[in-house]
Structures are given as C-alpha cells and as structure tokens.
Amino acid sequence: MRPRLLLLRRALAPSPHPTTLRTFAQSTAVRYGARARPQLPFLSVPTSTRAAQRVRYLTTERKAQLKYEIKQGIKYTSYIWIVVACFAACSIAISQEMLERQYPSPHEWSYLTRMRFRGAHCERDQTDPARPTDWLAVMQWIQGAIERLENPKVDGKGLKDAPSDHPPRTKDLRDMPEAWRRGYFEAMMLYAKAAEHLDGWMLDRTRKMVFPADMVVGPSNPKPRPIPAGVQGAPKEEDCEVAYEPADDIYLRLLNTEGLTSRQQMDARLAFASWLEFKGITGPASIVYEEALELAISQRPDLSAEPVDRKTLTLNDAAGLPSANLLTALTAYSTFRARNGDLSSSLPIFVSLLKARRSLPNSEFTVYEPPPPPEDEPTAENITIQLGKKLLAKIMEPPYPPPPPDGSSPPFRDAKSICEEAALSLHIGEILYASNPGSREEGLGWTRDAVDVAEEQLHRLNLSATHKPARTTCRDCLATGLQNWSAMVARLAKEEAARKEAQPKKQSWFGIGLWGHGKEEEDLTRWAAEERVIEERTKRSQGLLEELEPPAWGIASFFRA
C-alpha cells in the first residue's frame, strides 16, 4: 500500500517546469505519454546547475495563442475606429444642420459647396473674444465655393458669361433660379469683404504660402515686419505675386452682373463706395454713392413728383413716403458728406430723414397677421402627431427662406427702424456739437435722446433670431452714443475746469455762497458731475452691449465649463 501512495504522489506532483517553457532535453511525448521510453542519462543534453537552463519559448501552443491575440487586437481596434468614425460623421452632420438653419444656402447647390458657404459665414461671425476673425480661412472657404458655382461641370450648369464689353469673369444670372442668384450674390459680397481684409497679401511661389505685404523683403519694403514664429525665412519680393483678386475687381464684376435685383445692385454700390472711401479715394467714392442714390430715386412709384430735392437732397413731403432703398442710399451719402467736412448740407438731410422715418406706419398696425388656427383638444393621438411633426422638422432639411423685399416700397416702423432713428439723432447731435459752439448743449441733448432710445429698445428685444438685426443696430447705436456723449462732456468738463481756475475767488463776510455764489459753483461743476453719470451709465449698459448666449440645457450642459 505504501509504494502505491508514493507512486500516486509522484504522478500528481506539479511539474518543475511550466508547460509554456519546454526544455530541449524533454519532450511532451516522454513526459505525458503513457508508453514513452525512459530518459537515459547519456541521451540527455549535459547541463550545469549553475548555468541557466535552455528553454524553448516559441512553441506551437504559443504561436497559436499569439495569432489569436493579434487577430482579436485587429478586430477590436477596427471596431473602435469604426465607432469613432461614425461618431465624427454624426457630429459633422449635426453641426452642418445647425449651421444650415443659421446660414441658409440654396438647395440647388451641391453639399460641398454649401458646406464651404456655411463655413465662411461661420468663421466671419465667430464671437470668440480670444481670437479675431481669420479672414484667410474665410477667403479659402468662400473662394472654393465660388469656384464651384462658376464651374459649369459642378454647380454652374446653365450659367452664362456676360458680354465681352463687361469686366472679365462677369456672369449673367438671368437664366438661373432665384435662390441660386441670391446665394451667389451673398457669396460674392463675402468674397469682396474677405478681399478687403486681405488687400495686398502676397503669395510665395516657392513655398505656396501667403504673407502680408509688409512682411515681404525687397526694394519696395526696406523695413519688413517680423514674420510669425515657426515660419522658416521671410518671403522675398522676387518670389512673390499677388495672392488674391483685388476687391475693386470683385465689386466691378458685381456691378456689371446681369440678373440682380435693385436692392442687390444698391447694396453692392454702397459697399464698393465704402471701400473706396476707406482707401482714401473720395472722388470715385462720391460718384458711386451718387449712382446708388440715383438708382434708388429712379424706383419711385409716383412719377409726378420728385422724391428728393435735387439742390438740397432733402426728402420731398409731397412725393409721399420714401422707399427703403431711398432711405438707405440717402443716409449713406449724407454720412459720407458729413465725414468729409460738408456739415452744412448734411444736417438738413439728416433732419428730413428723421422726420420721414418717424412718419412711417407702425408694423403692428399695418401688417395683417391672420389669427392662429384653433387647436384641437389635447388627445393622445394629437400629441403623437405634434411630436412627430416636431421631430420631422428637426430631422428634415429646412426650406430656403423666401426672397426679401426689393426695397422699392416704403418700410414699416419696426424695432430696427427705431434704432436707425436713434442713429440719425446721433448724427444730428454730432453735427450740432461740432459745427457751432453755441449749439453744443443742443447737440448733447440729441445724443442723450439717442442713447435713451437705443437702450430702451435693447431692453425690449429678446434673444430670438428674428430680432437679431435690430439688436445689432441698437447695440452699435448705443455703443457709439455712449462714446460720443463721453467725448462731448469730457471736453466741456475740461473747459469748465479751465474757467474755474481762471476765475478769481470771491470772499464774503458771511461765507462763500451765501449771496448766490454757491449757484455759480454748482454751475461750474455741472459737467464733471455728468461725467460720473456717463460712467455709471456705461457700466450699467455693459450687459446690453455684449451678445450673451442663453445657458445650455439638456445633456450637453454637463459637458460645458
């Protein structure tokens, strides 16, 4: 019995070597086979107890295990990358759908063209205060979109070239759909605006990189501006050429494009005139402003009376209410004349414009809004149908907005029009303050009224998308009004302090200010006190001057800082 227990213990005893480490002197058949030969000492490989034992690491079982692990690793890695790619594709699709609702694009365009169009507008309107707008990115986005629109093999099928007497690359849009024409005009206007910001940029042909003109080293620029960090070497003048099409050529193409509406033609002329004025070319700028004004005057419905007095350029009350195009063009031209020192003729124009805008009909009384249809009783079926419609509205592509008014009819007096009235009051106050020292307080009163109106309108307007243009106009008016008000009062306060120092101090037996001298001291400190009022008013208006986004809600709010 005892020998059998010993043999059983030896059989069940663990192997001194792991199964994965197989020695060259022992085979599997010998160790585990039932009918294997005994291991003879002279057939074994001599080993030393001090030296490390020779072991086979890459066995058949180990190879099979490695193949299995490699296959599993490739499979799960592929699954992970597929999930990441699907998540990225869904994120891009959702972001593009959100941008489409913010910047609608014509449905006739291809998806890549629409994506570039939306990307350019999104970069232009970015509100991150940490970085300015990257106009180079805007140019690349919108230039790619226009190239696809003008390519007959992509999105320009049916697009014709203008006659040979027009500027090169001018197009004829009369055979294209209305939505296509409107989108093309918006793209060209943004293209011209990007060209304004990148005016004079040079392309280094050797490295295919663009640089501002003041960074190029050459005889025309002996003291170049330092290049950005990380760029190897400054560009040389002999290796550079103009990178982008000048803004002047783009505007000339737009002015000669066939198929644009009167409002689009006037907007293109006003933008071109503003660009020429910025470059200091006031003569051609005045001509373009006059062309825009003549275009607006020619669209009058009543041919019996001139809407504008040709001598003073003031509005004629006998001609009826002015059109929206006429109000816009005349305001821009009068502002141009005021900026160039012609204050005497600009003041009556601004007064007539303000009078005409205040006589416009109110939108809430003239625009007929049909009553909403009666709602059915809230049953389970109705709730399901309404939820289904809302879900489809979120998933389906939004319709392209209808065409806006052409500007040939009088506008309504809505929130934006009231803010434009405040802007006209600012112009009148500034002209009165600067033209005559005796009318400074009157000009200051106009400025105060404009600030009050703009601030009141901003308080009334909510954060809906329909009121965004009105909020932008009121915000610009409020910021400019506070700046003008502060500058006017600061100058008056400085003059007040100088008069106070120059005035001899009067003493009285019964003290200063007993017989009316305190009233003089109060008058002398009036403007200094108003300066403190303006500071408090500016601090109070900071929340209105900033475009604050509503707080995030839902699951995404937990992932925002």
What confidence score (pLDDT) does residue 515 get? 47
Q: Pick the range with the lowest mean pLDDT from 92-96, 106-110, 506-510.
A: 506-510
Reported as a pLDDT band with limits 50, 70 and 90, residue 189 is: very high
Q: Which residue has the higher pLDDT, 545 or 259?
A: 259
Q: Sign of dihedral through CA atoms 272, 276, 277, 278?
A: positive
Query: What is the secondary structure of 30-73 as a DSSP string?
Result: HHH-TTPPPPPGGGSPP--SSSPPPEE-S-HHHHHHHHHHHHHH
- pLDDT tens per residue across span 225-273: 998 888 888 899 999 999 999 999 999 999 999 999 999 999 999 999 9
Cα–Cα dist 448/459, whole Å: 17
Domain ranges of the chain: 2-44, 58-102, 109-198+244-260, 414-504+517-549
The 3-state DSSP composition of the chain as helix, strand, coil percent (nearest 5) reads 60, 5, 35
For the segment 423-434, the average pLDDT, to the nearest whole number, is: 94
Higher pLDDT, 359 or 37: 359
Q: Tokens 């205040």 appear where?
A: 358
Percent of the chain with pLDDT over 70: 77
Tell me: the pLDDT tens digits for 98-156? 899 999 999 999 999 999 999 999 999 987 878 889 999 999 999 999 999 999 999 99
Q: What is the pLDDT of residue 420?
A: 93
360 phi, psi to nearest 5 deg: -70, 150
Above 50 in pLDDT, residue 520? no
For 333, phi then psi, to 5°, come to -70, -40
Residue 229: what pLDDT? 86
Measured distance CA(546)–CA(543) in Å, rounded: 6
Q: What tokens does 97 get? A: 């759908």
C-alpha distance from residue 296 to each of 115, 291, 402, 443 (Å): 35, 9, 23, 30
Q: What is the mean pLDDT of residues 168-185?
A: 94
Query: What's the confidence (pLDDT) of residue 368?
Result: 38
Q: How much is the average pLDDT of 33-50?
A: 57
Half-sphere exposure of 501 (CA within 13 A, CB side): 5
- In this prediction, residue 519 carries a pLDDT of 47
CA angle (386, 554, 382) in 5-degree steps: 10
DSSP letters of 404-465?
PP-S-SPPPB-HHHHHHHHHHHHHHHHHHHHH-GGGHHHHHHHHHHHHHHHHHHHHH--S-G
- Lowest mean pLDDT of 144-153, 203-212, 499-508, name the range: 499-508
The helix (H) or strand (E) run that includes residue 262 is: helix 262-278
Ranked by mean pLDDT, the top range of 168-182, 215-229, 493-507 is 168-182
- The number of CA neighbours under 13 Å toward the Cβ of 396 is 9
Averaged pLDDT score across all residues of the chain: 83
Q: Which amino acid is at 410?
A: P
Report the C-alpha gap between 184 and 332 in whole angstroms: 25
- DSSP structure class, residue 546: S
Distance CA 432, CA 344 (A): 10
Residue 202, classed as helix, strand or coil, is strand
Q: Is the pLDDT of residue 9 over 90?
A: no
Residues 411-440 have a mean pLDDT of 91
